[in-house]
Amino acid sequence: MTTHSVEAPLPTLPAHLPAAALGTAPGRGLLAGRRLLVVGGGQQTYGQTDPPIGIGRAVSILAAREGAAVAVADVDPAAAQSTADRIHAEGGNAHAVAGDAANPDQAASMVTAAASALGGLDALVLNTGIAAGIGLAGTSGTDWDRVMAVNVRAHFLALQAALPLLPPGSAITLTSSAAAQVVTATEIPAYTTSKAALGGLCAYAAKEYAPRRVRVNVVMAGLIDTSLGRLASQIRPDRDNTPIPLGRQGTAWEIAAATVFLLSDSASYITGVTLPVDGGLTGVQ
């Protein structure tokens, strides 16, 4: 995606959001003892000034607050380290891991490095995602292949590498987007298609992992106030006028809260599902 020269106006959020939506709620020990790898746990600004926290970083920080030891993986080593530093500053346990999740060798190395640093793995969050191309005519084959590699192949490679390491009781989440169901939410066909593909990958992985008592679910994010979301609104300003039943965009902390729930034992009988966290965008007509 190409950065526009004019900043989009910031989304209007209610004056009084709950603490969980603001990232200020205290941890409750939901992930105590978990050893979690977050793939895509760094953050990019996409040219935004004073960007809000991104989903991967919010998941990493909230998981650590809930008691998990976290390996933060990202293609950008500095971004991964910055997330780990924020966790350390709060007294949490974190390690930064660098690598290209779409590269088979590097994806496997990230998983093994995380397991080594944490003394094993029993939780995995797959959060890599990019967008490229506008419309069918404006999407090149290179755009398409790059988006599919980062948004789908990277998830497959991480699952493949992690399977032999995950003990019974482990849990995995994949981060998708409401664009998979609401095609008017984006003008980027590669992104829409890649996010839709995660539902199929989740269903298959949940089936294959079930005999090992490993759960796999999708968190489907709606319109969320992130750097990438603000960039999307610059490119398509009417995005911010999308009629969301709850009347606002979400925060990355709200996606993180849903992710932590699905990783926790509170969701011990949930697998193979897609959980929309979208203010009613996909479910309320």
Relative orientation angle of helices 154-162 and 189-209, to the nearest 10 degrees: 20
Residue 191 is among the residues annotated as catalytic for this protein: yes
Long-range contacts of 201-204 (CB under 8 A, 24+ apart): 201/152, 201/155, 201/156, 201/159, 201/174, 202/174, 202/272, 202/274, 203/272
Q: How far is CA 90 from CA 85, 86, 162, 279, in A?
A: 9, 7, 28, 30
- Which segments of 25-162 does DSSP mark as H helices, in order? 55-65, 77-89, 104-118, 141-148, 154-162
The DSSP call for residue 128 is -
Spot the catalytic one: 46, 191, 209, 269: 191
In sequence order, the 6+-apart residues with CB closer than 8 A to the CB of 158 are 37, 39, 101, 107, 110, 111, 124, 126
Task: List the catalytic residues.
Answer: 191
